[in-house]
Amino acid sequence: MPLLTESFWLWQFLGRLHPMLVHFPVGLLCVALLLEIVGLLRKSTELRAGITALVWIGTGSAIAAAVLGLLLVNQDSYAGATVTTHQWLGLTTMTLAILTATALTTRQISLYRGLLTLTIVGVSATGHYGAMVTHGDDYLSSVLPSGKQPVALSTTKFAFASTGQPLDEKQVSQLNLEVRSILAHNCYSCHGANKAKGGLRLDTQAFVLKGGEDGPVLVAGFPEKSDLIRRVKLPAGHDDAMPTKGKRLTDSEIALLEFWIKQGAPWPVGPEKSLYRVAALEPRTPALPAAPADLNNPIDRFVNVYFQQHKIAWKAPVDDRTYIRRVYLDVIGLLPSPEEVDRFSTDNQPDKRKRMVQELLNRNADYAQHWLTFWNDALRNDYSGTGYITGGRFDITNWLYTSLKANKPYNQFVRELISPTKQSAGFIKGIQWRGTINASQRTEMQAAQNVSQVLLGLNLKCASCHDSFISDWKLTDAYAFANVFSDTTLEINRCDKPTGKMAGRKIIFEQLGTINGQAPTAERLRQLADFMVQPKNGRLYRTVVNRVWAQTMGRGLVEPVDVMDNEPWSQDLLDWLATDFVANHYNIRALISTILTSRTYQLPSVALKDADLLTSPNFVFQGMVRRRLTAEQFADAVSAVFSPVYPDSAVVAKVFPKQIKREIPFARAVFVKNDPFLTALGRPNRETVSTSRSSQANLLQALELTNGTQFNTALNRAAKQWLTTYPTATELVKRLYLKSLGREPNFKESAVAQQIIGASPGIEGVQDLIWAISLHPEFQLIY
Amino acid sequence: MKANWNRREFLQKTSAATLAALAASAPVASLLSGCGRGAKPGQTNGTADTVILLWMAGGMAHTETFDPKKYTPFETGMEGNRVLSTFKSVPTALDGIHFSDGLQAIGGVMDKGTLIRSYVAADMGHILHSRHQYHWHTCYEPPQTVAAPHLGAWIAKELGPKNPVIPAFVDIGQRFTVGEAEELKAFHTAGFLGHEFGPFFIPDPSQGLESVRPPVGMNTRRFERRNQLYNDLINSGPVGEFGSDYQKESLKRSMEQAYRLLNSPEAKAFDLSNEPKASYDTYNTGKFGLGCLLARRLTEQGARFISVTTEYEPFKGWDTHENGHTRLEAMKKQIDGPVAQLIKDLDKTGHLDRTLVILASEFSRDMMVEGRPDAKVLEQVNQPDILSDLKFYGMHRHFTDGCSILMFGGGIKKGFVYGKTADERPCKTVEHPVRIDGIHQTIYHALGLPPDTHYDVEKRPFYSTPDGLGKPVMDLLT
């Protein structure tokens, strides 16, 4: 593991001597063993003096090699299983060498011979892994007759390449796709729609055949006469070599291009297949897989198939205490009280978990107060922020809260966001700054971008400035969609420069319907809303079920949750959830209920060592991914368990329905304006859409929690109250644990806690104990 | 989000805070931290390790400060168009270079720095302080689809703290309880880089210590005991059952680091009462002056990026919509002594060699022209053509076409003047126009950061300056 970013040259220099120095132990110790064998055969010890020298020098160099090796791995960027194996083998071998030398010196000859042999085995294995690090995993095996493979086209995909048969239509299309993919990744940045160096573009058939200023780049059927092949084969640094920037093409990529030209550089007629993964738009209903009788929740049956494929065994569900804490936090955002935990644990009915979820989901106001945070982030809604003082922004709080409380069906919810009433208009109205702004940030384009991102998991931001480099979306698509939201016809701007062309009007996925471009804006928005919420818009519903899944399971079926074209870890499960959601009348609470009552949700939580693993394409699902409480959950937990963090006066009541003050148990953090405390804990400033929060702690946050006034004042108040209620140390510690962590302290914890607050507890001691508990990982995590 | 070179890839995985914690805890790591990119810990491979931004909030008129024009004294009933400067010019340490009266002290240290007279602010159709400030600090015009990071956040992300216990990005002097606070918050942020690289706020420099000491009413002994208890409780609980995860590890690590900072000898740097009285008095022209003093003390202890502002509040400070002349006398008194003293002190201790100090403002002002000479923007100030009262005597309109910037230290040329504005109205840039991406890239270059620094956000590259096109103004550098 590298310790530091860039290192002092001497360490790096010494480290890089490692590959040279390692040959000493290899050579010396091998010769030592050889001579030992010779001596053994001759039954003589005359070589022993030489052998002893060899063993000692060999051992010394082994130690030196190991030290330099450790320097190297810390200084340069090495990582991976091979390096780790090499490292441990090396250290083991070094230890063996030392033992060998010791045995030899102390004249334990048989032991020494055994150890020397072991050392040689170790040296060989270490050397082998070392070679794999420097020369590649297949350094040895690639030259073996069985390991030798013809260059490229060997993949099963292009098995047809070697048959010599003419290609069929499907094969041509596949070959062409591969070729375009190579050109896109290596050539488009200079020879594409945005730049045509040397007059050459390689992004369409016509341009490829036309060539550039220096003439044609390929001669169909003759790769050897094609300039394109000549140039990619030239050594780097040659004036004509391509690409001039970035990595060189691999041998297999070149071979593929050659094969394609030899075939006559075929280009299929009709619509081209996309270079990018594009998720299906239409819904799909996968059949429910068969499963053992105890897995009757459909989610579990799909997960069961996934587990079988990945050889993962079902673990036992979590205990009652863990479960009730999870569902409380996921449904209403609050911790269960000790009494509620008790009642739940002692309930003996088999359906108690289902009932608990239902009871929580029925708490309309509490549910709305938790989920409001998520939707505020996603819909960029806040009670303060840029634009409000200049009338360039409108909040949708009242509408949003009321909708969540009433569990408004999601199709209706989306309809009202897109074709809004005055109350819900803030989302598509965007944020208007005074003065001229970049064309890609006009409010109509903000509407197109935000509707795409939040509701469809689609990134239209690139295409709102120029044709996208990361998808097939074009500038004209983005403008046509933005134009639907516009009272006047938008002029297309490319990279903030007017093009003179006027935008059309169409929905981003044309298959969903045709917008009447002549209709007034309100009518157009009604049409758009109707088209968007149709059951056949599978993407809308996949996007929302994936978001709810991510909120409750710590990670989406698709990640990032805003890129719904990415591959889900279970397509069947995602598709089933989406169609079931539609069949259940777009009922978000029913969806949450299905998830929370599944065996899958009840699996023990999974710990990730690195935040990056969360969005890694290699992610393997094994259960809920552990999360940290959100800023709001944490503040509410402190408020409910210890003492309110916010006074009632902090609630921004005027943007909520009139009866709001009667509906809130205390000043929950979702109702207050953003402040340094909440910011430090991860509440975003809602200038832009935000659909996930980081679980990682950092220094600024820790400082806020360590000496921030807001937090410490609340703790001080809490200490006074607790001390009045529980004057004895034992009882106080026990109650604190029960209320905050849902369990009694163990013996050691109790001792530590009591030691701090003393036999006759004072405010300071109690405050410090409350502080320590509220920063305890067990309090901070949803596990 | 994926970074574009190895070092950053590493920083992204192992946050700066982690590195700092490592460097602060393990002896091996601290040994190695002494073997960083340069010869000393925290040193960059550029010419500067620390940046201090002295922010003249509200629009500082170039003709009244560092680029004076013909002085015309006030007479009742005079024509406004006759007035180019309302102050006399005074000589500086540089031959033939004059400053406006009241800036003699800064003029006296100009042999140690560079004067840029040709900064051209963006034309955003409508002059709005917060919008231009957003642009100056992030290099992007609001609004943006992606939350744009502050200059200081880029530096914090790329270089991490210079001294592990001093936050990498310290922001001194701005309160967020004043007008347009929300617009100010929009750019006082690390944006998509993550809160970790955002500003550590010290709104009042005389209260700096409050931010870095144990909570009010808690003595050191109790603070240490509390921390000990915290660790003991974690160790005695069954947390281990839950296995190891990044959330828990990062929490423990950050708490440890916060504890170290609050308990470190360096924290004394935040306490201005430790400053000798004579020196304290020199700096004490008010909040801004004390901010300069705090910046100096933190620089000596190893700060990375510090911003000190005269504080933006609509119609206050440099934002003069009337009484411009009289108010500028006060503003100059506020900045002249402390800025000059800061440069002298840093120079004396040798810190100026690797500390880049920048003094700048979002745009300039003029008595007659609003915005840019050739661009029509909304009139915001009621400024009569005939000055019937002293209160109309001053630069009350917003001017974007010629502004002054000072730079000192960290590889910047000494005694150098760059660019020129016209001597007659409109006093606009006529030579070497410098734009904000050039300023940012000059700063990055001095810090050894490449101009194409970027991260992939939502699969799109987001560069430290738009499209990665900004270039350092090499003429400013030695």
CB contact under 8 A, B244 and A756: no
In this predicted model, which residue has the larger pLDDT, A264 or A371?
A: A371
Give contacts of B452 with chain A, Cβ < 8 Å.
none
Q: Which residues contact B108 (CB under 8 A, 6 or more apart)?
A: B92, B93, B340
* Residue A236 pLDDT > 50: yes
Q: The whole model's pTM is what? A: 0.78
Q: What is the DSSP string of B399-417?
A: E-S-EEEEEESTTBPSSEE
Give contacts of B255 with chain A, Cβ < 8 Å.
697, 702, 705-706, 775
Rg (alpha carbons) of chain A, rounded to whole number: 33
- The mean pLDDT of chain A is 88
Nearest to A687 among B143, B216, B251 (CB): B143
CA-to-CA separations, A65 to A92, A150, A619, B70, in angstroms, rounded: 13, 38, 37, 74
CB contact under 8 A, A698 and B15: yes
Q: What is the mean pLDDT of residues A728-755?
A: 92
The Cα–Cα gap between B212 and B24 comes to: 17
- pLDDT number for residue A75: 64
pLDDT interval class at B195 (50, 70, 90): confident
CA-to-CA separations, A686 to A369, A670, A768, B159, B348, in angstroms, rounded: 18, 13, 34, 27, 45
pLDDT interval class at A138 (50, 70, 90): low
In Å, how far is B299's CA from the nearest CA of chain A? 19
Q: Where are the alpha helices (DSSP H) in A363-396?
A: 364-378
Question: Are B411 and B397 a contacting pair, CB within 8 Å?
Answer: no
Give contacts of A462 with chain B, Cβ < 8 Å.
459-460
Q: Where are the alpha helices (DSSP H) in A1-47?
A: 9-16, 18-21, 23-42
pLDDT tens, A321-357? 999 999 999 999 999 999 999 999 999 999 999 999 9
Q: What is the mean pLDDT of residues A534-559?
A: 97
pLDDT interval class at A108 (50, 70, 90): confident
Number of compact structural domains in chain B: 1
Q: Going by DSSP bridges, is the β-strand pair B50-55/B305-309 parallel, antiparallel, or unpaired?
A: parallel
- pLDDT number for residue A164: 66
Give contacts of A764 with chain B, Cβ < 8 Å.
218, 222
In Å, how far is A39's CA from the nearest CA of chain B? 45
* Residue A505 pLDDT > 90: yes
Is B255 domain-assigned? Answer: yes
The Cα–Cα gap between B193 and B142 comes to: 17
Q: What is the mean pLDDT of residues A748-760?
A: 86
In Å, how far is A401's CA from the nearest CA of chain B? 23
In this predicted model, which residue has the larger pLDDT, A417 or A80?
A: A417
- pLDDT number for residue A180: 84
Which of B15, B135, B138, B145 is the mutation pick for testing A, counting most A CBs within 10 A? B145
Is B40 domain-assigned? Answer: no
* Residue B175 pLDDT > 60: yes
pLDDT tens, A206-217? 888 888 888 889
In this predicted model, which residue has the larger pLDDT, B435 or B243?
A: B435
What CATH number has the domain bearing residue B298?
Answer: 3.40.720.10
Rounded to 5 degrees, φ, ψ at B307 are -115, 130
Q: What is the mean pLDDT of residues A527-552?
A: 98
Express as a percent the part of chain A with pLDDT over 90.
54
CA-to-CA separations, B444 to A311, B15, B305, B309, B477, in angstroms, rounded: 51, 20, 12, 21, 12
- pLDDT number for residue A29: 84
Q: What is the mean pLDDT of residues A483-487?
A: 96
Residue A274 DSSP one-character state: P
Is B41 domain-assigned? Answer: no
Q: What is the DSSP string of B18-65?
A: HHHHHHHH-HHHHHHHTTSSSSSTT--SSS-SEEEEEE-TT---GGGT
CB contact under 8 A, A700 and B261: no
Range name among A198-207, A356-365, B113-122 with the lowest pLDDT average: A198-207
Which of B36, B45, B164, B14 shows the shortest CA–CA distance to B449?
B45
- pLDDT number for residue A699: 86
The Cα–Cα gap between B49 and A275 comes to: 45
Is B328 domain-assigned? Answer: yes
In this predicted model, which residue has the larger pLDDT, A208 or A532?
A: A532
In Å, how far is A63's CA from the nearest CA of chain B? 19
Range name among A126-140, A321-335, A692-706, B65-79 with the lowest pLDDT average: A126-140
Is B381 domain-assigned? Answer: yes
**Residue A217 identity:** V
Which of B150, B170, B246, B256 is the mutation pick for testing A, counting most A CBs within 10 A? B246
Q: Per DSSP, which regions of A604-753 are E strands?
A: 627-628
CA atoms within 13 A on the CB side of A424: 17
pLDDT tens, B273-319? 999 999 999 999 999 999 999 999 999 999 999 999 999 999 999 99
- pLDDT number for residue A609: 85
Q: Which helix (H) or strand (E) holds B131?
A: helix B129-138
The Cα–Cα gap between A101 and A58 comes to: 9
- pLDDT number for residue B16: 40
- pLDDT number for residue B41: 74
Q: Cβ of A244: how many Cβ atoms within 10 Å?
A: 13
The Cα–Cα gap between B283 and B90 comes to: 22
pLDDT tens, B12-40? 333 443 433 333 333 332 333 333 344 46
In this predicted model, which residue has the larger pLDDT, A183 or B148?
A: B148
Express as a percent the part of chain A with pLDDT over 70.
93
B167 Cβ under 8 Å from any chain A Cβ: yes
CB contact under 8 A, B201 and A707: no
- pLDDT number for residue A3: 40
Is B1 domain-assigned? Answer: no
Q: Which residues pair with B417 in a beta bridge?
A: B115
- pLDDT number for residue A50: 85
Is B34 domain-assigned? Answer: no
Q: What is the DSSP string of A413-459?
A: HHHHHHS--TTTTHHHH----SS---GGGSHHHHHHHHIIIIIH---
* Residue A151 pLDDT > 60: no
pLDDT tens, A165-221? 778 877 887 788 888 878 877 787 788 776 788 889 888 888 888 888 888 898 988
Dig out the tokens for B343 from the structure.
Answer: 């440069």
* Residue A271 pLDDT > 70: no
CB contact under 8 A, B225 and A768: yes
pLDDT interval class at A502 (50, 70, 90): very high
CB contact under 8 A, B239 and A706: no
CB contact under 8 A, A777 and B185: no
* Residue B241 pLDDT > 70: no
B29 Cβ under 8 Å from any chain A Cβ: yes
Give contacts of A444 with chain B, Cβ < 8 Å.
none
Range name among A274-288, A555-569, B37-51, B55-69 with the lowest pLDDT average: B37-51
pLDDT interval class at B4 (50, 70, 90): very low
Domain hosting residue B327, numbered range: 6-28+50-476
* Residue A44 pLDDT > 90: no
CB contact under 8 A, B239 and A776: yes
**258-317 in chain B: CB under 8 A from chain A:** 258-259, 261-262
The Cα–Cα gap between A378 and A398 comes to: 16
Residue of B nearest to A702 (CA): B255
**192-251 in chain B: CB under 8 A from chain A:** 194-196, 198, 200-201, 211-216, 218, 222, 225-226, 229-230, 232-234, 236-239, 242-248, 250-251
Nearest to B254 among A676, A697, A709 (CB): A697
Give contacts of A608 with chain B, Cβ < 8 Å.
245-246
Give contacts of A73 with chain B, Cβ < 8 Å.
none
- Residue labelled with tokens 């088209």: A531
* ipTM of predicted assembly, 2 dp: 0.82
* Residue A428 pLDDT > 90: yes
- Residue labelled with tokens 């003390």: B297
- The mean pLDDT of chain B is 88
* Residue B11 pLDDT > 60: no
Pairs across A and B, CB distance < 8 A: 257
Question: Are A777 and B251 a contacting pair, CB within 8 Å?
Answer: yes
CB contact under 8 A, B460 and A462: yes
pLDDT tens, B322-344? 999 999 999 999 999 999 999 99
CB contact under 8 A, B248 and A384: no
Q: What is the mean pLDDT of residues A60-65?
A: 87
- pLDDT number for residue A4: 39
Dig out the tokens for A176 from the structure.
Answer: 């062409």
- pLDDT number for residue B411: 96
CB contact under 8 A, B10 and A8: no
